[in-house]
Amino acid sequence: MSSIWTRILKASADAVFPPRCRACGAFFAAPGDRQRENGRPPGDESMTGLVETAFSGQLCPECRLGIVPVRSPACSRCGLPLAGRPGDDHLCQDCLDGPAVFVRARAACVCEAVVLALLHRFKYGGCVELAGPLAALLQAAFRRHFPGGGIDAIVPVPLHAKRLRSRGFNQAELLVRRWQALHPRDQTDGILLPGALIRRRHTPAQAGLGRKERMVNLRGAFSAGPKDEVCGMRVLLVDDVYTTGATVGECARVLAGAGAAKIEVLTLARAL
């Protein structure tokens, strides 16, 4: 009987105070509305269920459809979505021109309007409650792309101390911590090593800069931690967004210099 009254009270509260979408700001019906299954391409059913569960009460049905997974064809190294028929993964021009230090990079979803809005609210709007659902997307991408584990350590891309003080948290580290909290007994994810990389130079904002400009901007910005924590380890480097690859590329270079045996990259979103 108590569960019935709980549902009644919740339905009444939702009717009076309907949830507001974290992405577009619109009020929408109480969670439990079924997302339109025909709104996604075939093969996205698992993403549909995950988004419904993780973002129940956070996103309206229309914005839930805006979270799109990275699908084939994509660059087999950096994960950039490519034009072409499904299944034909191959190297993009940037990876052909200059091989990266890391073995491969993968992402949970495409960095489009809804994901950008969520990340902006999360990083700059102090909406830390989004860390949980965003971490669920990141964890699902890890399970998809790294099904056998094979990771010894997870290293989040660090923030400079000045930016960390102003924001209050490192978004990459928080996402990993929330992801690992979903399954605290799972030992296949690798240990979290937030001190393995240090951002020693506060760089100007990267927005609006091209790939080469970003690489110059980040040169010498990172250094290895005080201990040889990653020596001989298979490292997963984690960040929120892969845009041009300049940030993760510089971090991977430093980790390789510190003795990491293998470096792979996982991000929440991948810019087109």
pLDDT in tens, 131-149: 999 999 999 999 999 988 7
Q: What pLDDT tens digit does each residue of the chain (272 aa) get?
A: 455 655 545 545 455 567 999 999 999 986 554 444 445 554 455 788 899 999 988 999 999 999 999 999 999 999 999 987 777 899 999 999 988 899 999 999 999 999 999 999 999 998 999 999 999 999 999 999 998 878 999 999 999 999 999 999 999 999 999 999 987 766 567 899 999 999 998 876 666 666 667 666 678 889 999 888 999 999 999 999 999 999 999 999 999 999 999 999 999 999 98
Backbone torsions φ then ψ of 197, nearest 5 degrees: -125, 145
Calpha distance 246→219 (Å, rounded): 9
Q: Which of 129, 106, 130 is nearest to 119 (CA)?
A: 130
Token duo for residue 92: 């993009």
- pTM (predicted TM-score): 0.86
> What are the structural domains, with CATH classification, of the chain?
1-65 (no CATH), 86-270 (3.40.50.2020)
Token duo for residue 61: 């049905």
Calpha distance 174→87 (Å, rounded): 33
Contact of 221 with 161, CB cutoff 8 Å: no
